[in-house]
Amino acid sequence: MSANRLADATSPYLRQHAQNPVEWYPWGAEAFDVARAQDKPLFISIGYASCHWCHVMAHESFEDSATAADLAASFVSVKVDREERPDVDAVYMAAVQSMTGSGGWPMSVFATPDGRPFFAGTYFPPADRHGQPGFRRVLAALAEAWGEHRDEVEGQADALLDAVRREVRLADTLAGRVEGPVTVPDLDTLVDGLVNHLETGFDAEWGGFGPAPKFPRPSLVELCLLHHQRTGSARSLTLAATTLDAMARGGLYDHLAGGFARYSVDRFWLVPHFEKMLTDQALLARAYLHAWQVTGNDEYRHVMAETLDWVLDELAAPGGGLFSSVDADAAGVEGSHATFTADQVRAALHAGGLEEHADEVLAFYSVGEAGNFEGTNVLHRPLGAPLARPEVVEAARRVLLDARRRRPQPGVDDKVLLEWNAMAATTLAEAAAATGNAEWGVAAERIVDFCFAALRTPDGSWHRSWQGTAAPHLAFAADLAWLLESCTALGQLTGSARWSERAREVADALLDGYWDSAGGGGLFTTHRDAEALVVRPKDLLDGATPSASSTAATALARLSLLTGSDAERAAAERLVELAAPLLGEHAIAVCDLLFAVALLQEGTEIVIAGKRPDLLAEARSHWQPGAVLAWGERTDSPLWDGRLDGFAYVCHHFACQTPAGDPATLATQLLTTRAEQLPRPRLRVHGDEDTE
């Protein structure tokens, strides 16, 4: 084991720092004990393996012996992988945001030996630069403050901890506002208000819902699609389609291999931050899938398919899981594995026997002599140009991709995360059902089977991360929420009762281990048996990925429709109720919760009894976020009561329309199943059986 104790870490990110001169500790009791024994504050550095600026700060500061000496003299240094420990990340990100008004990675937090933060920031340069203090100057100032002004430091720690507590326990604050009958606006009102809000920040030319740097927000695109689907609104379709079209043409999308980079540094989606995260592939592929179902635009299906195929080709882990991400840097240079000069394109085509087509290929991928990124080119398509590749360009794509793969390659973060794998499996299962691509369905089952085998220990406890073995820390609420989503998705794909049984197991584990039964309800991020942090967070707000609360509410609502269970429905309703003040005032903060609202308010159940592949295909051709599908093996769910083989049943809270015996009738029923046309029970008030 190395001197800084990271060589044997389960996190590839931590192992990247194993040879630093900094005396790193992994997060844990040992670091806290040493800090208390030596009366030193903690320096907590949080990042992830594919983070470009994490690498920059590592090269500039953590590989510098003088900086390491300063850290050793006055601090106990702790390295944290935010993807492996989202609970730790959430607590200290709240401190960064409270102090600076923004956040990001690398995260640099200074805390008392008991973990209370007193100073926080993100990237610090090695010396004063552009108005930022140099990292060593920060260390010197904080060491002096700890030694000479301890009372002020302690006061700052208490104040900052109060701010952190308010942020990561926002659910409890909202619970105090949820007294008596709870009014949750109807779905159409919520979605219409959200679309109106999104329109104010919409980039009408290039899509997206804010200025550069631009991050994809797949859920916002899907909610625009939902608004269009329900209202026929051209403006909401424009918001979604403009964004999807521009992202798929820009350099954010990998035109040679498929898949999306993390974000774009400009408003044009042109120059990406080159790392590829499994979460982005799963959520963006899902958005393009739903866009294809709503619009019939085959370009969306093409982008979705290439993205999923890239995931299965490049992130496949031994045994069935998926790795987490691919780095932005190769051989220490950001994007060097992915960009081309014009001469490099010509040379590759010459070697592949396609030199006579060089001009056509250069034009297709907008490759210029001057380049568009540091003297080289990010391949892209012009806005409005077709994505379909002519035969010769497709041949050139394969040649260029082969040439690219012979370069130094970026590192792969080869840990397997339960949440991210279940997220990807959910999309694969949905895509398999909608397109009939059996390979994606097999992959989805393989991934979730792997999670059950590798990340659940014999005593029944679930774990977050695997790399040859399960890491010691317990799973988080988001892990089980997405696992529940993947089990219900696989049940709807396969018609197999085993996925219904697994879904119930996961729901029981989620509610038993994470539900706040003593307080106002809702889900804690951490399991009740997990180590205690300075604050036990609750993950309420949606961001780049849906929060645990939104995912769980949707998954529990879906399961309750499939099984008729009141317990799962009550939990989903309570999660929505707790966020009711935000839904009414700032829905974008909990936008993913609207999918739970769709299921709870509309609750459409589709049952196909007997072997009717034609009816099954019709049901699967529609994107219906407020519906569930049961077919195949009959279960003990009331959905199956009295169902005659050979028919499809479209029901709303178990009250059904006339059985449909042909696809046309079923299509009509599905298209007319709307909230205003069916009786809709209001969300019940928690602990009160009366309806509003």
Q: What is the pLDDT of residues 243-282, one digit of tens each?
A: 999 999 999 999 999 999 999 999 999 999 999 999 999 9
Dist. CA 465–CA 480, nearest whole Å: 13
CA-closest candidate to residue 619, choices 657, 676, 662, 656? 662
- In contact, 68 and 145? CB cutoff 8 Å: no
Residue written as token pair 């034009």: 363
pLDDT-derived band of residue 319, with 50, 70 and 90 as boundaries?
confident
Packing angle of the helix pair 278-295, 218-231 (nearest 10 deg):
10
pLDDT-derived band of residue 672, with 50, 70 and 90 as boundaries?
confident
- Please check the confidence at residue 617 and state whether its pLDDT lies above 70: yes
Q: Which whole-number Å values give the CA distances from 511 to 38, 435, 448, 483, in the listed order? A: 41, 34, 20, 13
Phi, psi (rounded to 5 degrees) for 585: -110, -30
pLDDT-derived band of residue 3, with 50, 70 and 90 as boundaries?
low
pLDDT-derived band of residue 452, with 50, 70 and 90 as boundaries?
very high
Dist. CA 204–CA 239, nearest whole Å: 8
- Please check the confidence at residue 128 and state whether its pLDDT lies above 60: yes
Dist. CA 346–CA 340, nearest whole Å: 10
288-311 residue pLDDT tens = 999 999 999 999 999 999 999 999
Dist. CA 497–CA 505, nearest whole Å: 13
pLDDT of residue 673: 63
Residue written as token pair 């500790």: 25
- Please check the confidence at residue 33 and state whether its pLDDT lies above 80: yes
Q: Which amino acid is at 120?
A: A
- Please check the confidence at residue 56 and state whether its pLDDT lies above 90: yes
pLDDT-derived band of residue 678, with 50, 70 and 90 as boundaries?
very low
pLDDT-derived band of residue 682, with 50, 70 and 90 as boundaries?
very low
- Kindly give, in sequence order, each residue whose CB lies less than 8 Å from that of residue 589, ignoring residues fewer than 6 positions away: 541, 542, 582
Q: Which whole-number Å values give the CA distances from 324 to 200, 422, 629, 663, in the listed order? A: 34, 12, 30, 41
Average pLDDT over the chain, rounded to whole? 93
Dist. CA 503–CA 481, nearest whole Å: 10
Dist. CA 306–CA 401, nearest whole Å: 14
Dist. CA 84–CA 456, nearest whole Å: 16
pLDDT of residue 314: 97
pLDDT-derived band of residue 675, with 50, 70 and 90 as boundaries?
very low
Dist. CA 237–CA 181, nearest whole Å: 35
pLDDT of residue 179: 63
pLDDT of residue 520: 81
Strands (E), 295-448: 325-326, 329-330, 333-334, 412-413, 416-417
- In contact, 107 and 120? CB cutoff 8 Å: yes
- Kindly give, in sequence order, each residue whose CB lies less than 8 Å from that of residue 567, ignoring residues fewer than 6 positions away: 511, 560
Q: Which of these CATH numbers, 3.40.50.300, 3.40.220.10, 3.40.30.10, 1.10.3720.10, describes 12-168?
A: 3.40.30.10
Q: Which helix (H) or strand (E) holds 306?
A: helix 298-314
Pairing of strands 627-631, 648-652: unpaired
Q: Which whole-number Å values give the CA distances from 153 to 41, 90, 158, 233, 491, in the listed order? A: 10, 22, 9, 55, 54
70-74 average pLDDT score: 97
379-427 residue pLDDT tens = 999 999 999 999 999 999 999 999 999 999 999 999 999 999 999 999 9
pLDDT-derived band of residue 180, with 50, 70 and 90 as boundaries?
low
Instruction: Tell me if residue 681 falls in helix, strand or coil.
Output: coil
90-111 residue pLDDT tens = 999 999 999 998 889 999 999 9
pLDDT of residue 60: 96
- Please check the confidence at residue 688 and state whether its pLDDT lies above 60: no
According to DSSP, residue 379 is labeled -
146-155 residue pLDDT tens = 999 999 999 9
pLDDT of residue 101: 87
Q: What number of other Cβ atoms are within 10 A of residue 680's Cβ?
A: 16
Pairing of strands 42-47, 76-81: parallel
Phi, psi (rounded to 5 degrees) for 477: -60, -40
pLDDT of residue 178: 58
Residue written as token pair 């290929």: 361
Dist. CA 128–CA 136, nearest whole Å: 9
Instruction: Report angle CA 631, 284, 266 to the nearest 5 degrees.
Output: 170
Lowest mean pLDDT of 223-227, 232-236, 649-653, name the range. Answer: 649-653
Instruction: Tell me if residue 277 falls in helix, strand or coil.
Output: strand
What percentage of the chain has pLDDT greater than the value 90? 88
Q: What are the domain boundaries of the chain?
A: 12-168, 203-293+324-413, 603-692
pLDDT of residue 674: 47
Dist. CA 487–CA 2, nearest whole Å: 41
307-318 residue pLDDT tens = 999 999 999 998
For the chain, how many residues are written? Answer: 692
Nearest-10 Cα torsion for 525, 530, 536, 540: 0
- In contact, 105 and 54? CB cutoff 8 Å: yes
